[in-house]
């Protein structure tokens, strides 16, 4: 690699960084003010690109191209404002993270809407009139558009900072980022502030998409690809810090580019291909950053996070009535194979497996007050442990006992790092670890089967029958569930809730809050690992999706759908989500749209989750 190559690669990295910054800036603003973890941010980017191409083609010519950029951003801004007013505004009062469920519904709806509007085929936009060619730099060609992006990003940063520093609206936004209760106290119309911020953030997402017009085609997979990148950049930079996001975007962009630039490198007799590292490099960077700097590059420790007690509801310790109810439900579930057809049993097996997964996640999210976005890591470790042991001819029962242990070990390691952080930082660090684990499974062909995964994971002969296996899942899953619930009633469970409710108070009572939270990880991970192992045996095959982001997100959706502050919530959420998806998917081609709409309706109707909402309604009545 010559010096000129390196120089131009740095320019490439900065062009990539500019795109990342555009993506991240909007997300950062929205999160800073509204605390909404906006999964739909990538969808807004996707819509921005589709809209820009459609407008550029409709308007035609050079003017059409340049007009399409702001118009697309504006259109997406309006879309964001509408979504905020129709949906999110209704659920700001809900427990933390609940809004995430609404944005998940939006992702599904927007994806199918884009398919309906623009069709399945990728659409490549025009080159930028006036900037279509390349510029020579150190003897090498660099696209003029890349240089335009590199110039645009810092200008946008300055413009946004000026907006925040110089205008009254900007001052309010900054104040709300620091302390959003204060703004309400100042008599500012909080609703309109939030709507405005959401519109601006969405418009920035739309602009980020529109600016990709000369670089990449609009495609329906763009939403998920971009949203994770945006989150990674925001978190590395430090929440709420635009400069941090700028720095983080540069870091990620340049490091990624350097990985490609290095390519295959001879090391100790073997060639290591750095380009393969790009599968996970942003997550490695995020993990490293968060371990060294718990609040990102430029973020500050939340002033009051350690001080202020969590806003939680009272949870009655489940007593005999709860145990009797759970037992009755388990018995009823066990009767299913006698009443229904084979497929119902298979579906119920999936539901039971996911219910266990959701309960294990809820253990950390509810009583633990931590929200791991990468909980699928433990599911996956358990699944792969079982799969590999099955291939090594271990008996199923032994594999089902070993898998949770493997997952618990992973939980112990991941938890040790994670409990040093809090809030979204903790959430994203678990995601980083999950993605690292995923990439190992994805790449380690000799052991994990790589992207294809493992096949031929067969239950023991006595459990091969679908009904028998279902009962096996009920027994193992039920036992794990009972153990987790039992732990919640134990002194440890109380200490865990204490560490969430009021960490300072807990410390003064001699409770090592961080240690309690740490030890919650292996407990939850073991249960998730058991769910993963049961999953592997029930499917017969296994691939890295078992620990992918989608699996983690499904878990979050199940927990929130059921209700964060109820014990039965995650079970109900898992059942409802899995059943709904199964029903809708076979009735319509546009199943994502319908499923998304149903989730949005449930979000509005049950801001405490379905079980939480029903319980609340019952209490109000009686």
Partner 1 sequence: MKRILAMLALALAASATQAQTIRIGEMNSYKTFPAFLEPYRKGWQLALEEVNAAGGVNGRKLEVISRDDNGNPGDAVRVAEELASREQAVLLMGGFASNVGLALSDFAKQRRIVFLAAEPLTDKLVWEGGNRYTFRLRASTYMQTAMLIPEAARARKKRWALVYPNYEYGQAAAAAFKKLLKARQPDVEFVAEQAPPLGKLDAGAVVQALAAAKPDAVFSALFGPDLAKFVREGNTRGLFRGREVVNLLAGEPEYLDPLKDETPEGWIVTGYPWADIASPEHRRFLDAYRARWNDYPRLGSVVGYTSLMSVAAALKKADDTDTEKLVAAFKGLPVGTPFGRITYRALDHQSTMGAFVGRLAKKDGRGVMVDWVYREGIAYLPPDDEVRRLRPAD
Partner 2 sequence: MALLEAEQLRKRFGGVAAVDGVSFAVAAGERVALIGPNGAGKSTCFNLVGGQLAPDEGHVRLHGHEVTGTPPRGLFRLGVGRTFQVAAAFASMSVVENVQLALLSRAGRAFGALARAVTAFRAEARALLLRTGLDALADRPCGQLAYGDVKRLDLALALANQPRLLLMDEPTAGMAPAERHALMALVSAIARESGLAVLFTEHDMDVVFGHADRILVLDRGRLIAAGDAATVRADPEVKRLYLGEAAEGPS
490 touches partner 2 by CB under 8 A: yes
Cβ pair 46, 253 in contact under 8 A: no
DSSP 291-318: HH-TTTTT----TTTTTSPP-----PPP
Nearer to partner 2, 47 or 496 (CB): 496
Nearer to partner 1, 298 or 542 (CB): 542
Q: By three-state DSSP, how is residue 121 classified?
A: coil
Q: For partner 2, which stretch binds (CB under 8 A), given 163-171, 260-268, 497-505, 529-537?
A: 497-505
Q: For partner 2, which stretch binds (CB under 8 A), given 25-33, 166-174, 308-316, 457-465?
A: 308-316
Within residues 16-35, the interface with partner 1 by CB under 8 A covers 16
Q: For partner 1, which stretch binds (CB under 8 A), given 221-229, 309-317, 596-604, 611-619?
A: 221-229
**Dist CA 146 CA 406 (whole Å):** 46
Question: Which of partner 2, partner 1, none has residue 500 at its interface (CB below 5 to 8 Å by kind)?
Answer: partner 2
322 touches partner 2 by CB under 8 A: no
Looking at residue 273, the DSSP 8-state letter turns out to be E
Q: Which residue's structure tokens are 């109810």?
A: 325
Closest distance of CB 94 from partner 2, Å: 17
Q: Which residue's structure tokens are 């078992």?
A: 546
Closest distance of CB 385 from partner 2, Å: 23
309 touches partner 2 by CB under 8 A: yes
Within residues 59-88, the interface with partner 1 by CB under 8 A covers none
CA pseudo-torsion sign 319, 322, 326, 331 = positive
**Dist CA 56 CA 49 (whole Å):** 10
**Dist CA 245 CA 249 (whole Å):** 6
Binding residue (CB under 8 A) for partner 1 from 1, 155, 320, 393: 1
Closest distance of CB 232 from partner 1, Å: 12
Cβ pair 559, 362 in contact under 8 A: yes
170 touches partner 1 by CB under 8 A: no
Within residues 560-589, the interface with partner 2 by CB under 8 A covers 565
Within residues 258-287, the interface with partner 1 by CB under 8 A covers 260-261, 263-264, 273, 275-276, 278-279
Nearer to partner 2, 77 or 95 (CB): 95
Within residues 116-135, the interface with partner 1 by CB under 8 A covers 119-124, 127, 133-134
Question: Which of partner 1, partner 2, none has residue 516 at its interface (CB below 5 to 8 Å by kind)?
Answer: partner 2
Q: By three-state DSSP, how is residue 105 classified?
A: helix
Binding residue (CB under 8 A) for partner 1 from 89, 293, 420, 539: 539
Q: For partner 1, which stretch binds (CB under 8 A), given 26-34, 157-165, 218-226, 397-405?
A: 218-226
H helices within 186-315, ranges in order? 190-210, 222-237, 242-262, 274-277, 281-292
Within residues 504-563, the interface with partner 2 by CB under 8 A covers 504-512, 516, 519, 523
DSSP 320-387: HHHHHHHHHHHHHHHTHHHHS-HHHHHHHHHHHHHHHHHHHHHHHHTTT----TTTHHHHHHHHHHHH
Closest distance of CB 284 from partner 1, Å: 13
**Dist CA 512 CA 492 (whole Å):** 11
Closest distance of CB 308 from partner 2, Å: 8
Nearer to partner 2, 88 or 326 (CB): 326
Nearer to partner 2, 317 or 329 (CB): 317
Helix (H) or strand (E) holding 271: strand 270-273
Side-chain-side CA neighbours of residue 218 (13 Å): 30
Torsion angles phi and psi, residue 267, rounded to 5: -140, 115
**Dist CA 180 CA 94 (whole Å):** 15
Within residues 301-360, the interface with partner 1 by CB under 8 A covers 338-344, 346-347, 350
**Dist CA 610 CA 599 (whole Å):** 11
Q: For partner 1, which stretch binds (CB under 8 A), given 152-160, 362-370, 470-478, 588-596?
A: 588-596
384 touches partner 1 by CB under 8 A: no
Cβ pair 38, 30 in contact under 8 A: yes
Closest distance of CB 151 from partner 1, Å: 16
CA pseudo-torsion sign 303, 305, 308, 313 = positive
Q: How many helices (H) and strands (E) does the chain have?
A: 27, 6
Q: For partner 1, which stretch binds (CB under 8 A), given 217-225, 401-409, 489-497, 505-513?
A: 217-225
Nearer to partner 1, 141 or 328 (CB): 141
Kind of pairing, strands 270-273 and 454-455?
unpaired
Closest distance of CB 32 from partner 2, Å: 25
Number of residues that bind partner 1 (CB under 8 A): 83
Dihedral angle over CA of 219, 220, 222, 224, nearest 10: -170
Looking at residue 412, the DSSP 8-state letter turns out to be H
Count, residues in the chain: 622
Nearest Cα neighbor of 242 from 175, 156, 303 is: 156
8 touches partner 1 by CB under 8 A: yes
Binding residue (CB under 8 A) for partner 2 from 345, 427, 487, 593: 487
Nearer to partner 2, 489 or 541 (CB): 489
Question: Which of partner 1, partner 2, none has residue 545 at its interface (CB below 5 to 8 Å by kind)?
Answer: partner 1
Closest distance of CB 506 from partner 2, Å: 8
Closest distance of CB 541 from partner 1, Å: 4
Within residues 385-414, the interface with partner 1 by CB under 8 A covers none
User: Interface with partner 2 by CB under 8 A: which residues?
Assistant: 307, 309-315, 317, 486-487, 489-495, 497-498, 500-502, 504-512, 516, 519, 523, 565
């Amino acid at each position: 690699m010559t010096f000129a190559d390196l120089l131009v690669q740095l320019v490439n990295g900065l062009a990539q960084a500019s795109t990342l910054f555009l993506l991240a800036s909007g997300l950062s603003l929205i999160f800073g003010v509204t605390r909404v973890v906006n999964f739909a941010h990538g969808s807004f980017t996707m819509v921005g690109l589709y809209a820009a191409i459609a407008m550029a083609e409709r308007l035609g010519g050079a003017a059409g191209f340049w007009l399409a950029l702001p118009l697309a951003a504006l259109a997406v801004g309006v879309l964001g404002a509408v979504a905020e007013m129709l949906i999110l505004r209704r659920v700001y009062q809900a427990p933390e993270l609940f809004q995430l469920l609404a944005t998940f519904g939006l992702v599904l709806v927007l994806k199918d809407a884009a398919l309906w509007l623009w069709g399945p085929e990728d659409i490549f936009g025009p080159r930028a009139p006036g900037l279509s060619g390349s510029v020579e730099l150190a003897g090498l060609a660099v696209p003029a558009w890349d240089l335009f992006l590199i110039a645009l990003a810092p200008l946008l940063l300055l413009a946004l900072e000026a907006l925040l520093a110089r205008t009254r609206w900007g001052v309010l936004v900054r104040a709300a980022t620091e302390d959003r209760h204060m703004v309400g106290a100042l008599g500012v119309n909080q609703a309109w502030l939030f709507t405005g911020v959401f519109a601006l953030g969405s418009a920035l997402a739309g602009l980020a998409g529109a600016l990709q017009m000369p670089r990449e085609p609009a495609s329906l997979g763009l939403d998920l690809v971009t949203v994770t990148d945006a989150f990674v950049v925001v978190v590395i930079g430090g929440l709420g810090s635009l400069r941090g996001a700028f720095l983080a975007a540069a870091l990620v962009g340049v490091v990624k580019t350097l990985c490609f630039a290095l390519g295959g490198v001879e090391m100790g007799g073997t060639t290591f291909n750095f380009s393969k590292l790009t599968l996970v490099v942003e997550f490695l960077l995020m993990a490293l950053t968060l371990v060294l700097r718990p609040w990102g590059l430029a973020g500050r420790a939340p002033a009051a996070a350690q001080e202020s007690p969590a806003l939680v509801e009272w949870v009655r310790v489940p007593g005999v009535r709860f145990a009797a109810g759970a037992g009755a439900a388990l018995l009823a579930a066990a009767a299913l194979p006698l009443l229904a057809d084979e497929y119902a049993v298979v579906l119920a097996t999936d539901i039971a497996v996911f219910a266990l997964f959701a309960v294990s996640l809820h253990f950390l999210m509810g009583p633990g007050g931590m929200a791991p976005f990468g909980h699928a890591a433990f599911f996956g470790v358990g699944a792969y442990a079982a799969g590999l042991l099955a291939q090594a001819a271990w008996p199923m029962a032994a594999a089902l006992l070993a898998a949770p242990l493997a997952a618990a070990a992973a939980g112990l390691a991941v938890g040790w790092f994670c409990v040093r952080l809090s809030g979204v930082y903790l959430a994203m660090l678990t995601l980083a670890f999950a993605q690292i684990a995923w990439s190992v499974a994805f790449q380690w062909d000799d052991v994990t089967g790589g992207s294809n995964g493992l096949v031929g994971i067969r239950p023991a002969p006595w459990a091969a029958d679908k009904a028998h296996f279902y009962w096996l899942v009920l027994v193992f899953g039920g036992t794990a569930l009972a153990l987790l619930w039992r732990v919640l009633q134990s002194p440890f469970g109380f200490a865990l809730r204490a560490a969430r409710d009021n960490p300072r108070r807990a410390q003064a009572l001699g409770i090592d809050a961080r240690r309690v939270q740490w030890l919650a990880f292996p407990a939850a991970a073991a249960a998730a690992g058991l769910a993963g192992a049961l999953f592997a045996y029930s499917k017969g095959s296994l691939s890295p999706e078992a620990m992918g982001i989608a699996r983690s997100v499904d878990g979050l959706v199940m927990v929130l759908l059921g209700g964060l502050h109820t014990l039965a919530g995650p079970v109900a959420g898992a059942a409802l989500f899995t059943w709904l998806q199964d029903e809708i998917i076979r009735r319509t081609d546009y199943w994502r749209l319908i499923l998304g709409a149903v989730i949005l309706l449930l979000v509005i109707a049950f801001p405490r989750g379905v079980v939480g909402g029903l319980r609340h309604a019952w209490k109000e009545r009686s």
